[in-house]
């Protein structure tokens, strides 16, 4: 089991460019999440998908869109990147029932210049 | 606004000592509590979860929960230099669509010196 995988690991964008961060899980989890982590700010939820076919905004959704492609995959899209979106992005998944513990992918380090 | 507060640290303890990490939360309805460890440059790793008042032990780690005081802690016994990391406290949402959401504290940086 690979758990939660994310691509790419690193990315540099110019302001205004777009890109999609990919996330996949092989744990048959129902729920998936996208976070960003900035120094001193902790983990902040961008969007989440409680189950296949649903998505909801988290704490900091502006400038992002998401797609729950199927039960395994949850992508995050930056339509027009801004320097303020420079961050480390983590995808996580959970079964969505019971204890709600989340398991994280290795992260994508994004720099927007 | 759901708040999860942790001592920002840094916390520094000698090898072999007990490290004590604390966390308070604002939402009385939260039912699930988690501790994650995050090494520098890596992703958060789940190390403990606790649902009931009292203590839960797993090896050198003990999680303690007091719902009346809205307080959860993590004790690391016989601390090792390899325990040096940032520890994140997380609690779940208290109702409906927020049940599956986790709310994270900003983390406590722990250094264990030999």
CA–CA dist B83, A67 (Å, integer): 37
Interchain contact, B100 vs A94, CB within 8 Å: yes
Q: What is the pLDDT of residues A23-32, one digit of tens each?
A: 999 999 999 9
| A108 lies within 8 A of chain B by CB | no
Of the pLDDT bands very low, low, confident and very high (cuts 50, 70, 90), residue B12 is very high
A contacts of B32 (beta carbons < 8 Å) = 99-101
Q: What is the pLDDT of residue B60?
A: 97
Distances A23 to A50, A53, A69, A86, A91 between C-alpha atoms, Å: 15, 16, 10, 18, 6
What residue in A sits closest to B104 (Cα-Cα)?
A43
| B88 lies within 8 A of chain A by CB | yes
Statement: residue B8 has pLDDT above 90: no
Q: What is the pLDDT of residues B45-79, one digit of tens each?
A: 999 999 999 999 999 999 999 999 999 999 999 99
């916390």: which residue's tokens?
A: B11
CA–CA dist B103, B84 (Å, integer): 23
Residues 89-108 of B with CB under 8 A from A: 90, 92, 97, 99-102, 104-107
Of the pLDDT bands very low, low, confident and very high (cuts 50, 70, 90), residue B1 is low
B contacts of A58 (beta carbons < 8 Å) = 101
Q: What is the pLDDT of residue A103?
A: 96
Q: What is the pLDDT of residues A46-89, one digit of tens each?
A: 999 988 989 999 999 999 999 999 999 999 999 999 999 999 99
Q: Taking the CA of residue B89 as centre, how many other CA atoms within 13 Å lie in the half-sphere pointing to its CB?
A: 28
Q: In terms of DSSP H, where are the helices of A1-113?
A: none
A contacts of B88 (beta carbons < 8 Å) = 42-43
* Helix, strand or coil, per DSSP, at residue B83: helix
* Mean pLDDT along residues B91-111: 85
Of the pLDDT bands very low, low, confident and very high (cuts 50, 70, 90), residue B97 is low
Q: What is the pLDDT of residues B15-48, one digit of tens each?
A: 999 999 999 999 888 889 999 999 999 999 999 9
Phi, psi (5° rounding) for residue B7?
-65, 125
| A61 lies within 8 A of chain B by CB | no
Q: What is the pLDDT of residue A43?
A: 94
B contacts of A60 (beta carbons < 8 Å) = none
């Amino acid at each position: 089991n690979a758990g939660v995988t994310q691509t790419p690991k690193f990315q540099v964008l110019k302001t205004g460019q777009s890109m999609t961060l990919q996330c996949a899980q092989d744990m048959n989890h129902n729920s998936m999440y996208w976070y960003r982590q900035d120094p001193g700010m902790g983990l902040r939820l961008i969007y989440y998908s409680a189950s296949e076919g649903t998505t909801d905004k988290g704490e900091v959704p502006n400038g992002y869109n998401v797609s729950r492609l199927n039960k395994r995959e949850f992508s995050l899209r930056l339509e027009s990147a801004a320097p303020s979106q420079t961050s480390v992005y983590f995808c996580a998944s959970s079964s969505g029932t019971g204890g709600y513990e989340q398991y994280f992918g290795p992260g994508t380090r994004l720099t927007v210049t | 606004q759901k708040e999860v507060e942790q001592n920002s640290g840094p916390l520094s303890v000698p090898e072999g000592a007990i490290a004590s990490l604390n966390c308070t939360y604002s939402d009385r309805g939260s039912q699930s509590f988690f501790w994650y460890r995050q090494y520098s440059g890596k992703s958060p790793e789940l190390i403990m979860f606790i649902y009931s008042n009292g203590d839960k032990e797993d090896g050198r780690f003990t999680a303690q929960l007091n719902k009346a005081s809205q307080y959860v802690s993590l004790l690391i016994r016989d601390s090792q230099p390899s325990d040096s990391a940032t520890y994140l406290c997380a609690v779940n949402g208290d109702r409906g669509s927020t049940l599956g959401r986790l709310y994270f504290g900003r983390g406590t940086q722990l250094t264990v010196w030999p």
